[in-house]
Amino acid sequence: MAAEPPDEWATGQLDLGAYLRRISYAGDLAPTAATLAGLHRAHVAAIPFENADIMLGRGVRADLPSIADKLVRRGRGGYCFEHGQLLAAALVQLGYPVDRLLARVGSPHDTRSHLVLRVHVGGQPWLADTGFGTGLIEPLPLRDDGTPHDQYGWTYRVRADGAHYWQLQERQDDRWATCYHVDDQPQYPADVLVANHFTSTYPDSAFVRQLVVIRKDPGGLRRLTGRRLSITRPGLPAEDGYLDDARFAAALTGTFGLRLSAEEVARLTAVTRDAADVA
């Protein structure tokens, strides 16, 4: 009898029931496209995108046990390397074949600093990405047919970019803007470890320079960049403003639902105040 392949991503260590409770998902668990969409939508709505640990000087651990402890047990948010691995582990346990892929955000010559998933359902690959913050609410079919997909007022499409790359594009005003370029080569845990280390420690990384917290659901997009809060709802004018200390602290735990101690909130308040003074 052939030996079982090693669980190099540690997917078996995820408490699937705890994850489903964390995202408030009680629907069907059969590995279908409908289940994938439901899980993806629930995950994005429940778990914020945030880089607070970097701003607190802790860095980000990219192994699944650490991710599950932070995002599931302690109720925190995270960024792409955490969101993507957490969703991937749940999907694998439910019977979905999953490839972890790395993407280049912005320019096709930028570093591969973003983790996305290719999920196979009945012979059809899907692009799943719960860790882009401002991106997808539900997965998209990974095929180059140019079809625009409306997601609660935001419109996306996937386009082939040569033999081994894909582009995720978002309709912005009257043009298609490329969110990122996805390399279709499956990655290994070591690849994610290196990409996460670069993204969370390189001095010029956007996630090292400033606090970013995002929540997106069918009702709207709320984004905190440093002290600036923007709220966007499809079809309505954007709201944008600078938060003072009190409103900033309230937004962290209220608007964005981050489970932070009083000491952590105080430290983030000071860090973002200092950064605003420098700017």
Q: Which residue has the tokens 């980000």?
A: 60
- Say whether 80 is catalytic: yes
Catalytic hit among 40, 43, 129, 179: 129
Q: Which of 80, 83, 179, 181 is catalytic?
A: 80
53, 114, 179, 181: which one is catalytic? 114
Q: Tokens 């009190």 correspond to what residue?
A: 246
Measured CA to CA in angstroms, residue 270 lies from 54, 71, 78, 250, 263 at distances of: 14, 24, 21, 14, 11
User: What sign does the CA torsion over 156, 158, 159, 162 have?
Assistant: positive
179 among known catalytic residues:
no
CA distance 274 to 279: 9
φ, ψ (nearest 5 deg) of residue 199: -65, -35
DSSP state of 103: E
> Which residues are part of the catalytic machinery?
80, 114, 129
